[in-house]
Amino acid sequence: MVRIKDIADELGVSATTVSNVIHGRTNRVSKETIKKVNEALSKGNYVPNMGGVLLSQNNSKIIGVVLNNDMRYENKILQNPFIVEIISALEENIRNAGFFTMLYNANSIVDVAKIATMWNVSGLIVFGFMEEDYVNLRDMIKTPFVSIDGTYSKDINGIINVGIDDFEGAYNMGKYLIRKGHKDILFLSDNDDGCDNKRKLGLKKAMKEEGLKFTENNHRLIPAMEISRRAYYPELLSELRKSNKYTALFFASDAYAIEAMNYFMDNGVNVPNDISIVGFDDIKHATIVRPRLTTVRQNMPLKAAMAVNALLNIIHKYKISTRNIVLPVEIVERDSVASLE
Amino acid sequence: MVRIKDIADELGVSATTVSNVIHGRTNRVSKETIKKVNEALSKGNYVPNMGGVLLSQNNSKIIGVVLNNDMRYENKILQNPFIVEIISALEENIRNAGFFTMLYNANSIVDVAKIATMWNVSGLIVFGFMEEDYVNLRDMIKTPFVSIDGTYSKDINGIINVGIDDFEGAYNMGKYLIRKGHKDILFLSDNDDGCDNKRKLGLKKAMKEEGLKFTENNHRLIPAMEISRRAYYPELLSELRKSNKYTALFFASDAYAIEAMNYFMDNGVNVPNDISIVGFDDIKHATIVRPRLTTVRQNMPLKAAMAVNALLNIIHKYKISTRNIVLPVEIVERDSVASLE
DNA sequence: CTGAAAGCGCTAACAC
DNA sequence: GTGTTAGCGCTTTCAG
């Protein structure tokens, strides 16, 4: 393993000079030296030792991609298809910017801070925590970070977030459903904060606008734990059959929509003829089930690109124009909604 | 950020002592000092600066998880559901062992070597390269690594691989299909080396044993690029309809099996009544499509655990008993195969 | 049982 | 244009 000093000795120049040409601080080096050094560098197959870099600068070139290893997700958040689709895009953007991706499932925000300081991470992309966690994180470390899909009660100084227009997406989906003749829509989610809450509110607004009632009866909280959730579907189905009230089910995520849809179909319910089902996210799975799922699409690669880009902007100290980047969202109409005319 | 020296100064001991208690080299330190140091450490919230560690030792505590960013996969290997399911398990095992996961999509094996040396990576888990790449890697770096699903013409000194019994799995699936009355089975894969080749050979053996012919006609090479592959399915379908020869399609992976099955079903083919379809891997998708896909299951979490475990064994210089770890595989019978009696 | 000192590879302030 | 030097935080050898 060849070091800067080796190159310097070989060429009879100083380490500083070599370091300077490596970093393109080339205005104070003669053309000739530059050439010599560059040749020696590539001939010797020079690769920087990041230990040295890390120690001498405050810059590791590592971007931490950190997920919340919340018990709620049974330590399987990385198996969530939604998360998974974004990791891929994140890694690509990070790599193309010349950084390295450190993937970490954190148990708490303190963990995140720990990783950040021990590695002198250049920046962090963080998922799945709550507003107060992000605020704490900001106060604990000076490392720049951007949260993805964070929901904040207000603009928070020093925190950049990239999210999607959950409200608008759900609102549009609500309008779409109503246009299709649905008047009794049930919204299902595993919690009532953050994105899911916004999605609920979007639907509510759409219904209100069309003179339809949306009360807490139109919202079911379903279990986040897979095993309990699967146990819940039969209950849901029998309730639906009994009351015969709802014509459409709006799940807060595709993953749940698909699970439920499959359960229903397997038990003799015809989707969409007996009941319509929609989701949110447009994960890959939505196109491989039958009927194909009508849903609200978010552009994951774009989300990843925006997040990495925003982070790089802070790292490079460019001016930041937006604190809260909201990406648009679109309805994708497929086969899981019936027209009720 | 508190350093070892800070703790040492505060306590009036030397940095060496602090370092010693941190690393449990505690046999030459008095009980009392140990206690003092440990208290100061946790009170001061000491977190090691990995730059220092990296520089002074040859040990970064980083495990590189490296994929082959082959053009063949359109730079989307991380979107391959099969890969994705294993990354999750890998990260968990790495983290639980006290290491860090660096995720990297490499364009070539030289890239892999570069990352390994620049980060002084403790070990590498590598996917998707060819035998000669792995051999080159072994010769380029001294970093221990284990390959996943590598196929080797022979036992190669210094290379550990964890894979599954592709041959046996396909053989058993062949037997199963034959037992169900299928005599004309078409095998489809996007290449004819490595795992896919073994899977083909397994099927071939099963057919031979039952007195059935398996010629190159029973094997179709399908395009690896998604767009070409989708263009190929109509062709395949019309050929199948014309010849009316094959009663079962054995795809080398679930991903392709599901794609094709959906295409067929969307075009009026009834699976399994008109034709049976099976895959290999048992990815999540296999259970969410209808009919549920009958396939060969490999245990991804186990595979990940074995790979990390094997790697840690080399890193810690424990004796290694097996060069080539072959994990068992099992048929999971679902609804995509008809009984032809 | 404890400490002093050197060194890992790189960078940057400063001097020439 | 180029070089000297100190220092980043940690480990480790060796001496006491």
> DSSP letters of A133-198?
HHHHHHHH----EEEES---SS--TT-EEEEE-HHHHHHHHHHHHHHTT---EEEEES-SSHHHHH
Residues (171-230, chain A) with CB within 7 Å of strand C atoms:
none
Side-chain-side CA neighbours of residue B1 (13 Å) = 16
Q: Are strands A324-327 and A160-164 parallel, antiparallel or unpaired?
A: parallel
User: What are the respective helix, strand and coil percentages of chain B, to the nearest 5?
Assistant: 50, 15, 35
Instruction: Decide which of B28 and A268 is more confident.
Output: A268
Q: Are strands B100-106 and A100-106 parallel, antiparallel or unpaired?
A: antiparallel
Residues (25-84, chain B) with CB within 7 Å of strand C atoms:
27-33, 52, 55-56
In this structure, are residues A118 and B50 in contact, taking their beta carbons and an 8 Å threshold?
yes
Question: Computed from CA positions of residues B229, B232, B236, B237, in that sequence, does the dihedral angle turn out positive or negative?
Answer: positive
CA B146, B147, B148: angle at the middle one, nearest 5? Answer: 120
Residue B170 and residue B205: Cα distance in Å, rounded? 9
The answer to whether the C-beta of B231 is closer than 7 A to strand C is no
Mutate to test the interface with A, among B54, B73, B142 (most CBs of A within 10 A): B54
Residue B76 and residue A206: Cα distance in Å, rounded? 38
Largest CA distance in chain B: 88
Total H helices, total E strands in chain A = 13, 12
> What is the DSSP code (8-state) at residue B268?
T
Residue A193 and residue A131: Cα distance in Å, rounded? 11
Mutate to test the interface with A, among B1, B42, B45, B55 (most CBs of A within 10 A): B55
Q: Are strands B248-251 and B185-189 parallel, antiparallel or unpaired?
A: parallel
Q: Is B80 a residue whose pLDDT tops 70?
A: no
Determine the pLDDT at residue A80.
Answer: 66
Residue A6 and residue B77: Cα distance in Å, rounded? 38
End-to-end CA distance of chain B: 74
Determine the pLDDT at residue B190.
Answer: 93
In this structure, are residues B164 and B304 in contact, taking their beta carbons and an 8 Å threshold?
no
Tally of CB atoms within 10 A around A96:
10
- Two tokens, residue A126: 């963080």
Give the DSSP H or E segment for B325: strand B324-327
Domains along the sequence of chain B with CATH: 4-55 (1.10.260), 62-164+300-328 (3.40.50.2300), 166-298 (3.40.50.2300)
- Contact list, A54 vs chain B (CB under 8 Å): 49-51, 54-55
Q: Is B76 a residue whose pLDDT tops 70?
A: no
- Contact list, B91 vs chain A (CB under 8 Å): 78, 103-105
Mutate to test the interface with A, among B103, B124, B270 (most CBs of A within 10 A): B103
* Beta-bridge mates of residue A115: none
Which residues put CB within 7 Å of chain D, the nucleic strand? A 12-17, 20, 27-30, 32-33, 52, 55-56; B 1, 3-5, 15-16, 19-20, 22-23, 48-49, 51-53, 55-57
Determine the pLDDT at residue A77.
Answer: 56
Q: Is B216 a residue whose pLDDT tops 80?
A: yes
Helix (H, G, I), strand (E, B) or coil at A223: coil
Distance B90 CA to C9 C1' (A): 31
Measured in angstroms, the CA of B55 and the nearest CA of chain A are apart by 5
Measured in angstroms, the CA of A261 and the nearest CA of chain B are apart by 10
Contact A50 B54 (CB under 8 A): yes
Most confident segment among A80-84, B20-24, B273-277: B273-277
Q: Give the model's confidence band at B201: pLDDT under 50 very low, under 70 low, under 90 confident, else very high.
A: very high
Measured in angstroms, the CA of B49 and the nearest CA of chain A are apart by 5
Measured in angstroms, the CA of B145 and the nearest CA of chain A are apart by 18
Residue A196 and residue A280: Cα distance in Å, rounded? 10
CA-wise closest residue to A256 among A311, A196, A185: A196
String of DSSP letters for B152-210: -SS--TT-EEEEE-HHHHHHHHHHHHHHTT---EEEEES-SSHHHHHHHHHHHHHHHHT
Question: Computed from CA positions of residues A6, A9, A10, A11, in that sequence, does the dihedral angle turn out positive or negative?
Answer: positive
In this structure, are residues B23 and B46 in contact, taking their beta carbons and an 8 Å threshold?
no
Q: Tokens 């195969």, residue? A: B337
CA-wise closest residue to B203 among B153, B249, B161: B249
Helix (H, G, I), strand (E, B) or coil at B299: coil
Residue B193 and residue A3: Cα distance in Å, rounded? 40
Residue A134 and residue B188: Cα distance in Å, rounded? 49
Distance A22 CA to C10 C1' (A): 12
Give the DSSP H or E segment for A67: strand A62-68
CA B183, B185, B191: angle at the middle one, nearest 5? Answer: 155
Average pLDDT per block of 10 residues along chain A, 341 residues long: 90 91 86 91 92 88 92 58 80 95 94 94 94 94 93 88 96 98 97 92 97 95 92 96 95 96 97 97 93 96 95 85 90 97 77
The answer to whether the C-beta of A110 is closer than 7 A to strand C is no
Our CA dihedral for A201, A202, A204, A210, rounded to 10 degrees, sits at 160
Contact A60 B51 (CB under 8 A): yes
Least CB–CB distance from A91: residue in B78, B285, B288:
B78
Determine the pLDDT at residue B328.
Answer: 96
Contact A78 B88 (CB under 8 A): yes
- Contact list, B119 vs chain A (CB under 8 Å): 50, 100
Nucleotide with minimal C1' distance from the CA of B56 is: C8
Which of the nucleotides in strand C have any atom less than 7 Å away from a protein CB atom? 1-5, 7-13
Contact B117 A1 (CB under 8 A): yes
Q: Is B316 a residue whose pLDDT tops 90?
A: no
Residue B39 and residue B18: Cα distance in Å, rounded? 11
Go through chain B and tell me how many residues it has: 341
Least CB–CB distance from B114: residue in A47, A259, A288:
A47
Cα–Cα separations (whole angstroms), residue B211 to B183, B184, B186, B204, B276: 10, 12, 16, 11, 21
Q: Give the model's confidence band at B86: pLDDT under 50 very low, under 70 low, under 90 confident, else very high.
A: confident
Least CB–CB distance from B91: residue in A92, A103, A284:
A103
Give the DSSP H or E segment for A21: helix A15-22
Contact A288 B103 (CB under 8 A): no
The answer to whether the C-beta of B15 is closer than 7 A to strand C is yes
